[in-house]
Structure 1
Amino acid sequence: MFRDCSRPIETGMPTYPGDPDVSLAPDATHEADGYATSELRTGTHAGTHVDAPRHTLPEGEAIDERGVGKFAFDARLVDSRPLTPREPIGAEALPDPDAIDPDVDLLVVRTGWAAHWGTDRYRDHPYLTAAAAERCRAAGVGVGLDTFGPDPTPAAGGANPDPDTPDEPDGTPAHDALLRGSLPIVENLCGLDGLPARFRLYAFPLRLRDGDGSPVRAVAEWED
């Protein structure tokens, strides 16, 4: 069976704070030109996408430097629900490296935050602690998430909406830990409910020269 786990690319879709807005508009039309083309303006991290090490590491590998087969993953689903807004996901919430099958190369962490896509609350997603990212690095597995990313995202208005939330890390420690290990990060996944514990995930990027990331069509495949 196959399932599309990617967000549609469309004008005005949610983007990470500060990233370029997305627009998809007609260029040529059947009525005026006899054929149709469109103009797409987007950042490299819009919608469902993969990060290249160059995203946070200046000397990191670019998206077009990685073999295409590296974007076909043997995935294991990790259901972390229920979680509260901006809750840190610690190493203890992830499988022990010794308990991960050798053929698994991506942990897909289901936080449940896909349900908040298109709202301000989507920014208040749970995030991986540096220790959790280091556990993934020790196991040699990347991470897929139904959120903006493995690190905290600035809240709407730039402030933490919950004064009782523990201090959040500065910078991008989870990104850095994973990308330093040349491990994949797939962000803004959706459609994770009902997936089996093990499946294949295909997330092929555009071949962007020296790219720091790329939108993908993320597709899960498993045996019925």
Structure 2
Amino acid sequence: MCHACVIESVKSNMLSRRALFGAAAGSAALAMGAVSARPALAQSSGRVIDLTHAWDGDFPTFDGLPGITYEPDKLLERDGYQLWKLTIFEHSGTHIDAPLHFSEDGASVDELDPAGLVCPLCVIDIAARAAEDPNATVLPEDVEAWIGAHGQIPAGALVAMHSGWAAKLGDPSYRVDADGAFAFPGFSQPATDLLAEMGVAGIGVDTLSLDPGNSADFAVHNSWLPGGRYGIENLAGLDRVPGAGATAFVGAPTHKRGTGGPARILAVV
């Protein structure tokens, strides 16, 4: 399929009926990913790498507000056990974006096919370029270079960007530049259009957003998610995962009507 056709198809998915069709196609891709994950698991060493940041109210968020707050509800000395009342924003910490996040009738996080949350993990490394350009993006050439080095990207895979940004966590530069403007790497829409054509189920980043910090239109969010696919933001530990050969386990939450939510992401190598 030509790139122009893919782009036109993505635009069409923003319409209600086409979005439903895209969700069904996405579910099929997720199912294929579950099948292709099994051989990788059979060949793995069983070593587990946590790709999830520990998270509290100080963790950076897109809007700058605390993503989680704690209120004691039960105290050990008073009640005999301990319990927190939590107030959580869905899109904080290491978290998943469901199709519903950027579409009116896309799948909510509880509706994602669980078989598609166990999938081959493909890591595209742009850390060298991101060190020079804080708004660097994954380009189609990066996808093609990965294929040249590792072979075809499996349908149903999770493709993650390693920009080295996770090492900045705790410093303001994780979120903004010296002038206070958003600045962090992400995917380019031409790259995600190409990945959609390949039947990829999800994309992930080690930054605050699937789109780069200087994006003015959330082009990747608006094209990727309504097609029935998911995204993961604020990944950790991608420097410890090989470019190919690992299997990802996406521990997505299951609250109804959820546009996403904090997730535990593990890789088995």
Which category of TM-score, normalised to the shorter sequence, fits these structures?
Answer: 0.7 to 0.9
Match of 1:133 among 182, 189, 192: 192
Match of 1:212 among 247, 259, 268: 259
Deviations 1:86-126 (A, max 9, x none): 12332212237794243551111101011111322112211
Corresponding position: 1:176 with 2:236: no
Distance (Å, rounded) in 2 between the aligned partners of 1:48 and 1:179: 17
What is the letter of the counterpart of residue 144 of structure 2?
Answer: P
Question: Is the alpha carbon distance of 1:51 and 1:28 closer, same or farther for their aligned partners in structure 2, counting shifts above 3 Å?
Answer: same
Corresponding position: 1:86 with 2:138: no
What is the letter of the counterpart of residue 130 of structure 1?
Answer: Q
Distance (Å, rounded) in 1 between the aligned partners of 2:257 and 2:205: 24
Q: CA RMSD in A?
A: 2.0
Q: Which residue matches 1:118?
A: 170
Normalising by structure 2, what TM-score? 0.71
SS at match of 1:95: helix
Distance (Å, rounded) in 2 between the aligned partners of 1:69 and 1:88: 29
- 204-213 or 179-188, which moves further after superposition? 179-188
Q: Which residue matches 1:67?
A: 113
Q: Which residue matches 1:199?
A: 246
Q: Which residue matches 1:147?
A: 207
Deviations 1:28-70 (A, max 9, x none): 1211211111111111111111111111112211111122222
Distance (Å, rounded) in 2 between the aligned partners of 1:169 and 1:48: 20
Cα shift at 1:181: 2.4
Match of 1:108 among 139, 160, 164: 160
Question: Is the alpha carbon distance of 1:95 and 1:172 closer, same or farther for their aligned partners in structure 2, counting shifts above 3 Å?
Answer: same
Question: Is the alpha carbon distance of 1:19 and 1:61 closer, same or farther for their aligned partners in structure 2, counting shifts above 3 Å?
Answer: farther
Q: Which residue matches 2:92?
A: 46
Q: Percent identity, aligned pairs only?
A: 29
What is the letter of the counterpart of residue 127 of structure 2?
Answer: R
What is the letter of the counterpart of residue 149 of structure 1?
Answer: S
Aligned length: 208
Cα shift at 1:180: 2.7
Q: Which runs of 5+ in 2 are unaligned?
A: 1-46, 176-182
What is the letter of the counterpart of residue 124 of structure 2?
Answer: V
Distance (Å, rounded) in 2 between the aligned partners of 1:66 and 1:104: 13
Q: Which runs of 5+ in 1 are unaligned?
A: 154-167
Question: Is the alpha carbon distance of 1:25 and 1:3 closer, same or farther for their aligned partners in structure 2, counting shifts above 3 Å?
Answer: farther
Cα shift at 1:219: 0.8
Is the Cα contact below 8 Å between 1:147 and 1:187 reproduced in 2? yes
Distance (Å, rounded) in 2 between the aligned partners of 1:102 and 1:4: 22
- 75-84 or 47-56, which moves further after superposition? 75-84
| Structure having the larger proportion of residues in strand | 1
Structure 1 runs (4+) deviating above 4 angstroms are: 96-99
Q: Which residue matches 1:165?
A: none
Distance (Å, rounded) in 1 between the aligned partners of 2:143 and 2:107: 26
Question: Is the alpha carbon distance of 1:120 and 1:76 closer, same or farther for their aligned partners in structure 2, counting shifts above 3 Å?
Answer: same
Cα shift at 1:127: 1.9
Normalising by structure 1, what TM-score? 0.85
Cα shift at 1:188: 0.5
Cα shift at 1:206: 1.5
